[in-house]
Amino acid sequence: MRPTEVSTPSQANALELARTVLRIEAQSVAALVDRLDGRFLRAVDLLLKCRGRVVVSGVGKSGHVGRKIAATMASTGTPAMFVHAAEAAHGDLGMITRSDVLVALSYSGETAELLTIVPTLKREGTPLVAMTGNADSLLARHADVHLDVRVDKEACPLNLAPTSSTTAMLALGDALAVACLEARGFGPADFARSHPGGALGRRLLTRVEDVMATGEDVPSVPVTASVMEAVGEISRKRLGMTAVLDADGRVAGIFTDGDLRRLLERGASVRDLAIADVMTRDPLTIGPDALAAEAAQLVESTRKNQLLVVEDGRLVGALHAHDLTAARVL
């Protein structure tokens, strides 16, 4: 048997095909906007009133979409899980209770595996939200709420592979998740608690006090110190700067290794200088309760490497850009 010959499309043809795919899928999603009505609101109401979990189910490509919808809901305040319809028919149906809500995905609305488990769940009193492209299908007729995800055509040139239909289904699932998020008052702190191991979690949970230098590691000299004394403190504490404190222990200024370098470039005799004459007054500061991400933004926007951490005018810590890098928020 001769191997199937594969023709390589020209770059122009490939780009045009890609644009066509994106155009068709975008139009399919846009068509959902005018289709939203009271049925969508009833679906959201069922999800919000759910005392158990939102169970998303499907097979094939709809199953893959369902996994993502369940994951999005779970990470945005709606307890959810995915159960494969075929596995449910062979024992996993025990995972679903009358306290749950089933969200069933099937473009045809006639998926045998889903239709096998639906009657049992309906007898148990489990509410059913169905997403299909066929309002006359068995699944749609059995549903407490039917959400129409029909598309004019698939983006596949053969009009066979699920493309536009799965994109529309996924987008509507996102709309459900976000509507529930808003209704629950789910905020950034809640989101961070659901993502403690990722970059988003670090940016939303890490505070300045978690990464700043404290105690003896914080460089400081009195406002009566000389520049040479300040240089000694900078060398000992290795943060590239020192805070300058007034007689009451409040922050009066900052002196950095950059300030020292600029003095030397001007030919100044640093041995004869008082720190009060060369320090930077009104230095860049931040509070210990601020997010480390805020400190990172401040460092980047001002192009400075050091921040003094101040509370009620008093020095409580110090922060270097390297600390933010190590905490992976910069």
- The model's pLDDT over 31-87, given as tens digits with 9 standing for 90+, comes to 999 999 999 999 999 999 999 999 999 999 999 999 999 999 998 889 999 999 999
What is the CA angle 159-63-130, rounded to 5?
85
In contact, 132 and 57? CB cutoff 8 Å: no
Does domain 208-326 correspond to CATH entry 3.10.580.10?
yes
Map tokens 């003094």 to a residue.
308
Answering whether pTM is above 0.85, one says no
Nearest in space to 219 (alpha carbons), one of 203, 234, 200: 234
Strands 145-148 and 251-256: unpaired
Distance between CA atoms of residues 64 and 323, nearest Å: 40
Nearest in space to 255 (alpha carbons), one of 275, 282, 285, 232: 275
In contact, 286 and 295? CB cutoff 8 Å: yes
**What token pair was written down for 111?**
């998926």
- Domain coordinates in residue numbering, the chain: 14-186, 208-326
Strands 101-105 and 80-82: unpaired
In contact, 293 and 329? CB cutoff 8 Å: yes
Q: What is the pLDDT of residue 1?
A: 45
Q: What is the pLDDT of residue 6?
A: 61
166: left (phi over 0), alpha (psi -120 to 50) or beta: alpha
Domain range 14-186, CATH class: alpha beta
Mean pLDDT in each 10-residue stretch from start to end of the chain (330 residues)? Answer: 60 89 96 96 96 95 96 92 89 88 96 93 93 96 97 91 95 96 81 58 75 93 94 92 92 93 87 91 92 87 91 92 78
Q: What is the pLDDT of residue 325?
A: 83
